[in-house]
Structure 1
Amino acid sequence: MENLILASDPDREGEAIAWHIIEMLQQQDALREGLNVARVVFHEITEAAIKSSLLAPREIDVNLVHAYLARRALDYLIGFNVSPLLWRKLPGCQSAGRVQSAALALICDREMEIDEFKPQEYWSIETELNKNESGSRVNGISFPARLTTFNSERLSQFSISSHTEAKHIEQQISSEDFQVIRSKINKIRKNPPSPFITSTLQQDAANKLHFSSAYTMKLAQKLYEGVQLSDGTAAGLITYMRTDGLHISDDAVKGIRSLVIERYGQDFVSGSARKYFKKVKNAQEAHEAIRPTDISRLPSMLSGILDEDSLKLYTLIWSRTVACQMEPAIIEQIQVDIGNAVESIVFRSASSRVSFRGYQAVFEDVEAEAIKYEENEGNDRDEVFGTLNSLKSGDPLFIHEVQSNQHHTQAPPRYSEGSLIKKLEELGIGRPSTYAATIKVLQNRSYVTVKSRVLYPEFRGRMVSAFLCHHFSEVTDYSFTADMETELDNVSAGLTEWKGLLRDYWTRFSSYCDRANNVHIHQVEKMLEKKFGDFLFASLPDKSRACPSCMEGTLIFKVSRFGAGYFIGCDQHPRCKYIAKTLYGEEEEEEEVTPQNNSVEEPKLLGLNPGSSEKILLKNGPYGFYVQLGEDRKGYLPKRASVSHIKDVGSITLEDALEVLRYPVTLGNHPNDGEPVILKLARVGFAVRHRRTIASVPKNVKPNDVTLEKALELLSGKDVRRCGRPKSKPKVEEAIEAIEATGEKRLLRDQNLMRM
């Protein structure tokens, strides 16, 4: 072998892959003398593109590699230092990250805006007007108009604030005669959309095709890698899909313009080749926009070769690429003002129509049938435009109907995947290749859920965001994350030395870590209670925070000391162990438990305990029925056990109650460490526990049949889970071992500079 050609992806990560390969081969002495190593890059998998790249080999771009190493190191710094803090301060909250935490902050800040939003009432007055009087035999076309001036004052959105005002205005309008005051026609040019980059492809696919960002990227990857065509040849169908560049090669532009002339005519192609430039913050523009590798490969030619969703995405890309080299659409807008004789009351009616389709022709093309285009104009609008255009100043008009409509201001909408990506892009947070992965991580961590394509923050996510905002304000600051992307771009361009960048950042970031490490868990609880008190205590009966058990304490937000849960409990713990509400549950609970009953019922006496003659009571609490040994009294906490696993509570006998109250039972000590092995009653049945390891007892096994040997067998099986959290801080060095396994030894050496 005389040549080793490295042709990984044409981005920062692709450059690093090529660099890693060379490093690995050098370490293994696999690069013999005389072997020529070349790096080639291409943006589309076509024969012409690959041949062209082979004619222009180059060296590894060290600046791109350094930018990659710096980005990875920054991500490790945040992840390996903040994540362990989260595990200790907010159990069950698994991770934080440079881009992930900024994206989560956006979602949670929007939720806070929605929580604090107060709707405001306002009214609008609309009317239906006609050239002919009501009841006339000649039916003219009626058209809508909106009240814009009343009592010679221009109306704003909140000028009419009540139903009474609206009705008063309606009465005055009904007694007036109206005529056309003035009309105005404008022509506007609506420019074609720019070709796709990664973020706009994800947004458009979300809006028009209802695809998630991850699914869009999966389909785009398939289109980039290519398929076998009907003539037996294989080819990539689109250019590289991870890009923020808007430019298109000169040869591709020529092909697009030729296609436009051929399909739509000379009038539809732009006068000269259109060139697009990125206006979004921190754009690298290293690669072409996303386009078909061959614009003459029509979507219909791929029917039967591509699956339905892949064909839709290809059609979306093909249509947008063709449109970007077409003439603007020309839209005529007409505006007519109608008023009374003194113009103290004025209505306005407006309409528009497309006088030249321009680029919109491609979206009406039969080739675009696989996608929906929302800008098509209807015949009704043309009809109203014609009516308004026929009116002349002084023409009398007659009111057929006056209608007052109540409105309320709306809270800002929650983010969808598409709108979140758009916002991240506007702020310069993250890179095209990270958006889909970032949203996926937020979902996997249970920080965010997606319902009807809308992103809702889970309370766990809101806690993480509040904690980071309070103690690591720099991590969640939008401008910091965007400025860091700028610095990484400067490293890529050779303008910033990457080791110095890491040193500067670590100096600032380490102080945040030291301060947050000294924060007591009670301070975290108080901060979260203050921020989310309305949410946490909203479900309490009468919203009272007085403890109903001891009658002395106050209900507060608590973090479980042993599990991965949160609860509303009495501040007199351990004297009072009353829990009003559990969030996310503890230990073996697999899902959040919500209160089933807030009403107070009289306890039922089942009998007396044979050993102590204490009463055995059946009671109903917020989380279902339970049995209790002894009565409630000040300074005494009676033993309780849930009986929610018994379907017919009316059939519970004294013997049943005594049986469940005997748990938990210590079966013996574990042979490996001498720690107790316990059989306990959980909400979902029986379970055995050893330290932080829990295993469910199969439903076909009776609890009396569970011996120490049987428990050890269950604990060593596959269906075990961990509860609680580690008592000691996970070592950063343990996480770094995973990096060493990937061959990034040079990265680890360079990261030591941060601590010099």
Structure 2
Amino acid sequence: LVWERFIASLMESCMQETMKIEIEAGEYIFTATGYTVRFDGFTKLYEEKVDDEKSDSASPLPALKEGDELKLKSILGNQHFTQPPARYTEASLTKALEENGVGRPSTYVTITSTILNREYVKREGKQFVPTELGEAVTNLLKDKMPNIVNVKYTSKMEADLDKIDSGEKNYKDMIRLYYDDFEKPLEKAKEEMQGVKIKLKEEETDEICEKCGRNMVVKVGRFGKFLACPGYPECKNTKPLIFRTKAKCPECGGDVIEKKTKRGSSFYGCSNYPKCNFMTWDAPSDEVCPRCGKSLFKRKGNVLYCPDTEGCGFTKPAPRKKKTEE
């Protein structure tokens, strides 16, 4: 497969001709749209499978010429509804950025990680789904800075940076031009957005506030999500948001929970802290050790290991995730 793709990359492009065919049948006219292949090119050797996002694209048509008589085989009455555009995946978002002239190959990963880390989007399978926070921030910025938060603006800036790099434009002139365009909208937005707070729907949990008895809610702060009492300002109780895993502590048998550092990095500890001081940076797995029955953890190098300190020493390769079609 690698050899075929490499050789295909050196071959000529495939040439297709888009066609629209009108078929007369008595008083009715049927229309068919699609394409015919004029030259196979690299597809003679290598052709990628069509994914779900492209399932509604043009279909190949047989070779036809004006005046041909067609034989009716069947009539299918299928009802179709207009579908919304498919949600972005990491691959399709990168392609869209590239097509619109936004970013560079070296920044595509940073863009993706930023919108995920700031929780503007979340992953559902391979797709990026906008969060309530992401939609609120986007709407606010587009409302206050419509000329800046704009794909065309960013694309033009990227193109001008290329011209500076090639010596076609002077960087001081370009900085002055963009600064003048950027300064006034930014200052205006600062004034209008002063004190503006984005209110998100609060997610109620089963955690009970020990100070007032209310069900605590999930809130988003500077360092991520946390639990807070909805009785604020009367009750100001807060707690870190705990994510329980299926693993058990190898030292005391308590639940292994995921915690966050101030910088947002994940680590894992025992729910019985401070009575139990177990802590690790390695993520727990759903598997247990076949020798001693304790939960296995995953360390760098794609290896599952038993954390038993009494010398179990069991290790095994971690199962690889099944690859899905891009």
With the length of structure 1 as denominator, give the TM-score of the two structures. Answer: 0.26
CA distance in 2, matches of 1:351, 1:414: 25
- For the residue of structure 2 that corresponds to 1:410, the secondary structure is coil
Q: Deviations over 1:334-359 (max 9, x none)?
A: 643112xxx3xx142658895xx653
Q: 1:360 aligns with which of 22, 35, 40?
A: 40
Alignment of 1:610-625 (within 5 A): none
Report Cα offsets for 1:556-582 as digits up to 9, x if no partner: x99667874478986x7424x599xxx
Letter of the 1:589 partner, please give it: L
1:322 aligns with 11
Deviation at 1:490, TM superposition (A): 2.8
Distance of aligned partners of 1:337 and 1:489 in 2 relative to their CA distance in 1, 3 Å threshold: same
Classify 1:587/1:481 alpha carbon distance in 2 versus 1 (closer, same or farther; 3 Å). farther
CA drift of 1:475 comes to 4.4
Distance in 1 between residues matched to 2:272 and 2:16, nearest whole Å: 71
Answer yes or no: is the 8 Å Cα contact 1:471–1:516 preserved in 2.
Answer: no
Q: In structure 1, what is the Cα distance between the partners aligned to 2:90 and 2:97?
A: 11
- The alpha carbon displacement at 1:330 in A equals 6.8
Give yes or no for contact 2:227–2:239 (8 Å, CA) kept in 1.
Answer: no
Q: Distance in 2 between matches of 1:353 and 1:563?
A: 52
- The alignment status of 1:348 with 2:30, answered yes or no, reads yes
**Larger of the two Rg values belongs to structure:** 1
Per the TM alignment, residue 403 of structure 1 is displaced from its structure 2 partner at its CA by 5.2
Counterpart-to-counterpart distance in 2, 1:573 and 1:433: 44
Structure 1: tracts of 5 or more residues without a match: 1-307, 375-379, 392-396, 530-535, 541-548, 551-556, 580-585, 593-682, 688-694, 707-713, 720-756
Deviation at 1:413, TM superposition (A): 2.1
Indicate conservation of the 8 Å contact 2:100/2:155, yes or no. yes
Q: Which residue of 1 is the match for residue 316 of structure 2?
A: none
Letter in 2 for 1:516: K
Q: CA deviation at 1:481?
A: 0.8
Query: Hey, what does 1:589 align to over in structure 2?
Result: 241
Q: Deviation at 1:476? A: 2.1
1:485 is matched with which residue?
A: 158
> What is residue 317 of structure 2 aligned with on the other side?
none
Equivalent positions of 1:714-733 (< 5 A) are none
> 3-state DSSP class of the match of 1:455?
strand
For residue 372 of structure 1, what is the amino acid of its counterpart? E
Q: Which has a greater percent of strand?
A: 2
Give 2:11's aligned amino acid.
V
What is residue 425 of structure 1 aligned with on the other side? 98
CA contact (8 A) 1:333 1:350 kept: yes
> Which whole-Å CA distance do the structure 2 matches of 1:507 and 1:587 have between them?
45
Q: Which runs of 5+ in 2 are unaligned?
A: 51-59, 205-212, 245-254, 260-266, 282-326
Rounded to whole Å, the distance in 1 between the matches of 2:187 and 2:280 is 37
1:1-12 equivalences under 5 Å are none
CA distance in 1, matches of 2:18, 2:182: 54
Q: Secondary structure at the match of 2:23?
A: strand
Shift of 1:456: 1.9
Q: Aligned with 1:481: secondary structure?
A: helix
Distance 1:329 1:408, change over 3 A: closer
1:414 aligns with 2:87: yes
1:224-303 equivalence runs, <5 A: none
Aligned to 1:407, the other structure's residue is in SS state: coil
Report what 2:233 is aligned to. 574
Summarize deviations over 1:565-611 as a string: whole Å, max 9, x none.
Answer: 478986x7424x599xxxxxx7521459xxxxxxxxxxxxxxxxxxx
Residue of structure 1 in register with 2:23 after alignment = 336
| Aligned 1:507-518 pairs, distance under 5 A | 507=180, 509-510=182-183, 512=186, 516=190
User: What SS does the corresponding residue of 1:322 show, helix, strand or coil?
Assistant: coil
Q: What are the Cα deviations for residues 666-696 of structure 1, in whole angstroms up to 9, with x where unaligned?
A: xxxxxxxxxxxxxxxxx988x9xxxxxxx99
Secondary structure, aligned partner of 1:405:
coil
1 CA distance for matches of 2:188 and 2:35? Answer: 63
Q: Please give the per-residue CA displacement for 1:163-189, whole angstroms capped at 9, x wherever unaligned.
A: xxxxxxxxxxxxxxxxxxxxxxxxxxx
Looking at structure 2, the residues matched to 698 and 349 of structure 1 have their Cα atoms a distance apart, in angstroms, of 66
Q: Secondary structure at the match of 1:421?
A: helix
Whose helix fraction is larger, Structure 1's or Structure 2's? Answer: 1
SS of the residue corresponding to residue 408 of structure 1 reads coil
Higher RCO structure (Cα 8 Å, ≥6 apart): 1
State the distance in 1 between where 2:33 and 2:147 align: 49
Q: Which residue of 1 aligns with 2:322?
A: none
Residues 544-563 of structure 1 mapped to structure 2, 5 A cutoff: none
Measure the CA separation in 1 of the matches of 2:49 and 2:124: 24
Distance 1:566 1:474 in 2: 35
Question: Following the alignment from structure 1 to structure 2, what is the Cα–Cα distance between the partners of residues 490 and 352?
Answer: 40
Q: 1:493 to 1:515 in 2, by over 3 A?
A: same
User: Deviation string for 1:275-326 (max 9, x for gaps)?
Assistant: xxxxxxxxxxxxxxxxxxxxxxxxxxxxxxxxx6xx1xx63353244123x7
Q: Structure 1's 520 and 372: CA in aligned 2 closer, same or farther, altered over 3 A?
A: closer
Among all aligned residue pairs of Structure 1 and Structure 2, give the percentage whose two residues are the same amino acid: 20
Match of 2:48 among 352, 361, 372: 372
Deviation for aligned residue 1:488: 1.3
Given residue 389 of structure 1, which amino acid in structure 2 is its aligned partner?
A: D
- Any conservation in 2 of the 1:469–1:476 contact (CA below 8 Å)? yes
* Shift in Å, 1:517: 7.6
Kindly state the Cα deviation for residue 363 of structure 1 after the two structures are TM-superposed. 1.9
Residue 43 of structure 2 aligns with an amino acid whose one-letter code is F
Q: List per-residue Cα deviations over 1:62-106 (Å, max 9, x = no partner).
A: xxxxxxxxxxxxxxxxxxxxxxxxxxxxxxxxxxxxxxxxxxxxx
Q: Which letter maps to 2:7?
A: W
Aligned-residue offset at 1:435: 3.1
Matches within 5 A, 1:109-128: none
Whether the aligned pair in 1 keeps the contact of 2:16 and 2:35 (CA below 8 Å) is no
In 1: Cα distance, 2:236 partner to 2:82 partner = 42
Number of the residue aligned with 1:198 = none
Distance 1:317 1:445 in 2: 38
RMSD: 5.1
Deviation at 1:480, TM superposition (A): 1.7
**Does the CA-based 8 Å contact 1:467-1:524 persist in structure 2?**
no
Matches within 5 A, 1:66-81: none
Match of 2:107 in 1: 434
Which residue, 108, 124, 127 being the options, matches 1:454?
A: 127
